[in-house]
Amino acid sequence: MARASRLGPSHHGPVAEVAAPATAPAPAPASGRRRLAGGLHRRPRLRLGLLLAGPVGWLVIAYLGSLVILFINAFWSRDAFTGLVIHQFTLDNFVALVENPLYRTVTLRTVLMAAAVTVTCAIVAFPIAYYMARVASPRTRGLLVVAVLMPLWASYLIKAYTWRLILAEDGVMNWFLAPLGLKGPGYGEVGLWLVFVYLWLPYMILPLFAGLERIPPSLVDASSDLGARGWMTFRRVTLPLVFPALVAGSIFTFSLTLGDYIAPSLITTTQFIGNLILANFGVPDLPFAAALSLVPLTIMIVYLMLARRLGAFEAL
């Protein structure tokens, strides 16, 4: 089909005007790097593969591989006399897990503590995140983000030990409450719950902050235009939109509490799943510790599947 050129029928377009180039540019010498670059350019999938090889390799070999080894170990057993692992398939560990009521009690206790910590973190974090996202001026917001992140710079052990001092019999908390005639919770599960809430609060504030920031203010305006007052808007508009972010934050607080053993060993004498696993590592009864480890792992897999359903992964 003849091309109608804007410049008129006599004009065949720039390409025809220009004579064929006198000499084609000589191809560059085929050095190794050039060949490699060329080869990669032609094979986009190989490029992608090489790029991902490092992280995927780490994920598959180091992470998934070690989980598989853990899983296999759970089906082995230990010779009580020599203390060495017997590499033979057996279900003894899982039978012991199910039969002995201790493990049910400890699992339930751990899950309840994780749930309590998650709910408390959500309640405490929400006003802070809301203020940061909606009310604070940009400068204040920046300062608040720094303030929220600063505890994360301190080592976990320092924070846990500090709380040990605070909750001690002659610690800061009792000293503070003494004029009011009250006494702090001291060491115990209530004290532990306080410590966990403190430790994981930044992990709940940040996803909530991100989620609240994403809500366009126009929606809130539209809601009030339609006649909804503050609480109604919050309940009907803000909360459903921020819910995935809430679930995302809860993943952190729940999973971190579920597996923790250091804070419980410092603040209480009661045992949580992590303490039991550690005790068995100490014996060392590695097969039974592996079987025990599968319990929080299974709980988290179920939790993560639920979280995905509720849209948490889009909010992260």
Give me the residues that bind other proteins (CB under 8 A), please.
Answer: 78, 80-84, 100, 102, 105, 164, 168-171, 186-187, 269-271, 276, 279-285
Nearer to other proteins, 200 or 288 (CB): 288
Q: Which of 163, 152, 153, 162 is nearest to 252 (CA)?
A: 152
- Closest approach, Cβ 257 to other proteins, in A, equals 19
Nearer to other proteins, 162 or 270 (CB): 270
Q: Give Cβ neighbours of residue 188 (< 8 Å, ≥ 6 apart).
A: 267, 268, 270
Nearer to other proteins, 209 or 288 (CB): 288
Cis peptide before 284 (omega within 30 of 0): yes
Q: Which of 115, 117, 105, 160 is nearest to 273 (CA)?
A: 105
CA atoms within 13 A on the CB side of 301: 6
- Closest approach, Cβ 86 to other proteins, in A, equals 13
Nearer to other proteins, 37 or 283 (CB): 283
The DSSP code sequence of 111-127 is HHHHHHHHHHHHHHHHH
Tokens of 309: 């359903």
- Closest approach, Cβ 79 to other proteins, in A, equals 9
- Closest approach, Cβ 57 to other proteins, in A, equals 25
Nearer to other proteins, 241 or 279 (CB): 279
100-132 exposure pattern, b = at least 16 Cβ within 10 A, e = fewer: eeebeebbebbbebbeebbebbbeebbebbbeb
- Within 10 Å of residue 187's Cβ, how many Cβ atoms? 17
- Closest approach, Cβ 105 to other proteins, in A, equals 7
- Closest approach, Cβ 176 to other proteins, in A, equals 16
Nearer to other proteins, 140 or 269 (CB): 269
- Which residue is associated with the tokens 């819910």? 243
- Closest approach, Cβ 207 to other proteins, in A, equals 35
Nearer to other proteins, 102 or 226 (CB): 102
**Measured between alpha carbons, how far is 219 from 86 in angstroms, rounded to an integer?**
63
Helix (H) or strand (E) holding 101: helix 101-130
